[in-house]
């Protein structure tokens, strides 16, 4: 059932002109399913947490009450249309009218539920009409309802959200056990897998055909679902919906994108609040104030003991309860005055980013055709691989076995002075990330030459693998590296001692780390 969600919190009326539609999905088998919240969300002060959860729930809903928000670039399914005026002199019954559809009206027929999105009769949270029949020749829709007649220009939706519903069904059957209900990579079997299943909530996918600054295109997700990821527990779903023309696969692609948008929305809103309005942040602030007071008091006591009667006595540190009270007062004002704009700006940012992902301008398109794969090209590629310009060997090793010197270092966590507990590289999700052993011929992002080109050109999102395209290396250089790398599995592998450092071998710090 579809219903328009009109009972919005105080800040959501900013989303004017955008209809929020709810899809009640009742599979009956998993009534306990819930979207898990991030630890950082749970760490917020109660009112801040309530603000984030309310905003996310109103925009995305719950597992059994999904929201189709047409501000987001998601193919929710169904079709929308606009009521057209009758022809001159034409008289139609009150429950019949002409419709100009935005897309194909396939699926609109007897029994379809209709939701009014705009106009004077768009007053209900639920569909208020059921289609009796639709004549595609005259574009005439007949309804069962006998209520107030629509006016020309009123917008309606029939079957809106059907694809998202199907996507959830497919996801819960095939993906949930690894990736989790919320797409957090924490399904029931995730703890037993290495590497861990992808956590969609950052809006990041490693293996894409898009530029380094762009999201994954629909085609990227479709390819991963179809062929899986070699060397991981992500299987191929080549036969998924094999008899339905690809409907199930297309639906789960949309659902995964939708989950990623939900997770990113939550994180970005939490990031706006966690600095000043989190439990752990205030505890840290109280400890800092306590230490600062202790230091100032010590200096004051020394000054007084030395006879300095003019020394200024420091103000006592605020207790944690005082800090929380002050933060609560500031938070109330922020939620009323600033948070509405934050929600709107955040949703705009996320929607624009995902729209760009399917823009042809976001795709990696080599400016030159693949360089002939011959001995000369491979040698040029090898020299670039070992050069200060590319520094591929620092991670992947001089022989491409994934044993470069970078794996011996303790690397800092992004945005922190703390280092990881174990040596070697890590991805953005905090998981250990051994560099790929290129001699195995196993390429997680695809084994086509263009796939390897994309990895070098744009890097791998969410990892220390940097982007070289358009700046450090020319496209012809990248093709030489591709030819060299793809030849490594076929070279004779002779055990040898660690090669001596050559003059052209630079420092071991990976680019972009």
**pLDDT above 50: residue 243:** yes
Per the structure block, which two tokens stand in for 436?
């790929």
Q: What per-residue confidence (pLDDT) applies to 160?
A: 82
Distance CA 407, CA 319 (A): 45
Backbone torsion region of residue 178, taken as left when φ is above 0, otherwise alpha when ψ lies between -120 and 50, otherwise beta: alpha
| Ramachandran area for residue 268 (φ above 0: left; ψ -120 to 50: alpha; else beta) | alpha
How distant, in Å, are the alpha carbons of 20, 150, 159 from that of 128? 16, 12, 13
Euclidean distance between CA atoms 95 and 146, whole angstroms = 6
pLDDT tens column, 486-509: 999 998 654 444 444 444 444 333
DSSP conformational letter for 439: G
Q: How far is CA 455 from the centre of its chain?
A: 19
Query: Is the CB of residue 230 less than 8 Å from the CB of residue 444?
Result: yes
List pLDDT tens digits, range 339-397.
999 999 999 999 999 999 999 999 999 999 999 999 999 999 999 999 999 999 999 99
Mean pLDDT, the chain, integer: 88
Give residue-wise pLDDT tens across range 181-224.
999 999 999 999 998 999 999 999 999 999 999 999 999 999 99
Give the pLDDT confidence of 275-290 residue by residue, as tens digits. Answer: 899 999 999 999 999 9
Mean pLDDT, rounded, for 305-317:
90
| SS3 label, residue 19 | coil
Helical spans, DSSP H, in 278-308: 279-305
For 298-316, what is the mean pLDDT? 90
* pLDDT, tens digit, 9 for 90 and up, residues 157-182: 998 888 999 999 999 999 999 999 99
How many beta carbons lie within 10 A of that of residue 234, not counting itself? 20
Confidence category of residue 147, pLDDT binned at 50, 70, 90: confident
**Residue 241 banded pLDDT, cuts 50, 70, 90:** confident
The pLDDT of residue 175 is 96
C-alpha of 243 from chain center: 30
Give the domain ranges of the chain: 2-73+164-272, 79-159, 278-318, 375-490
Residue with tokens 């310009």, as numbered in its chain: 389
Q: What is the structure's pLDDT at 253?
A: 97
- The whole-angstrom separation of Cα 201 and Cα 24 is 23
Please give the pLDDT value at position 508.
36
Model pTM score: 0.85
CATH number of 375-490: 1.10.760.10
């Amino acid at each position: 059932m579809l219903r328009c969600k009109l009972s919005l919190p105080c800040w959501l009326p900013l989303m004017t002109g955008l209809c929020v539609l709810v899809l009640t999905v009742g599979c009956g088998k998993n009534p306990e399913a819930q979207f898990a919240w991030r630890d950082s969300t749970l760490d917020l002060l109660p009112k801040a947490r309530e603000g984030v959860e309310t905003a996310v729930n109103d925009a995305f809903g719950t597992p059994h009450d999904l929201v189709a928000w047409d501000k987001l670039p998601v193919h929710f399914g169904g079709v929308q249309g606009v009521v057209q005026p009758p022809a001159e002199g034409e008289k139609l019954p009150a429950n019949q009218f002409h419709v100009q559809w935005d897309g194909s009206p396939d699926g609109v027929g007897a029994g379809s539920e209709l939701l009014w999105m705009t106009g004077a009769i768009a007053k209900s949270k639920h569909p208020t009409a059921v289609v009796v029949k639709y004549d595609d020749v005259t574009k005439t829709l007949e309804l069962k309802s006998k209520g107030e007649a629509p006016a020309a220009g009123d917008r309606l939706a029939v079957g809106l959200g059907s694809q998202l519903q199907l996507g959830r069904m497919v996801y819960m059957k095939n993906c949930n056990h690894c990736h989790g209900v919320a797409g957090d990579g924490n399904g029931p079997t995730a703890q037993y897998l290495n590497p861990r299943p992808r956590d969609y909530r950052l809006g990041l996918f490693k293996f894409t055909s898009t530029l380094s600054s762009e999201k994954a295109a629909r085609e990227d997700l479709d390819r991963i679902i179809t062929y899986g990821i070699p060397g991981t527990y992500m299987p191929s779903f080549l036969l998924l919906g094999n008899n339905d023309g690809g409907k199930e696969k297309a639906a789960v692609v949309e659902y995964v994108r939708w989950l990623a948008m939900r997770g990113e929305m939550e994180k970005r809103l939490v990031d706006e609040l966690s600095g000043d309005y989190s439990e752990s942040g205030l505890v840290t602030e109280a400890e800092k104030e306590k230490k600062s007071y202790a230091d100032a008091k010590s200096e004051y006591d020394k000054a007084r003991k030395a006879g300095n009667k003019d020394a200024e006595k420091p103000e006592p540190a605020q207790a944690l309860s005082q800090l929380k009270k002050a933060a609560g007062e500031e938070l109330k004002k922020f939620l009323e005055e600033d948070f509405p704009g934050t929600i709107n700006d955040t949703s705009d940012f996320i929607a624009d980013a995902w729209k760009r992902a399917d823009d042809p301008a976001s795709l990696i398109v080599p400016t030159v055709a693949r360089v002939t794969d011959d001995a000369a090209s491979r040698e040029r590629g090898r020299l670039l691989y070992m050069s200060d310009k590319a520094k591929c060997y620092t991670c992947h090793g001089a022989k491409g076995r994934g044993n470069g010197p970078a794996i011996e270092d303790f690397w800092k966590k992004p945005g922190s002075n703390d280092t990881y507990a174990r040596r070697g590289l890590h991805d953005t999700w905090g998981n250990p990330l051994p560099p790929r052993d290129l001699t195995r011929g196993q390429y997680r992002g695809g084994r086509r030459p263009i796939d390897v080109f994309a990895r070098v050109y744009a890097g791998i999102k969410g990892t220390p693998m940097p982007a070289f395209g358009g700046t450090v290396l020319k496209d012809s250089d990248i093709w030489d590296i591709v030819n060299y790398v793809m030849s490594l599995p076929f070279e004779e592998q002779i055990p040898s001692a660690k090669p001596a450092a050559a003059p052209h071998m630079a420092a071991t710090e990976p680019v972009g780390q």
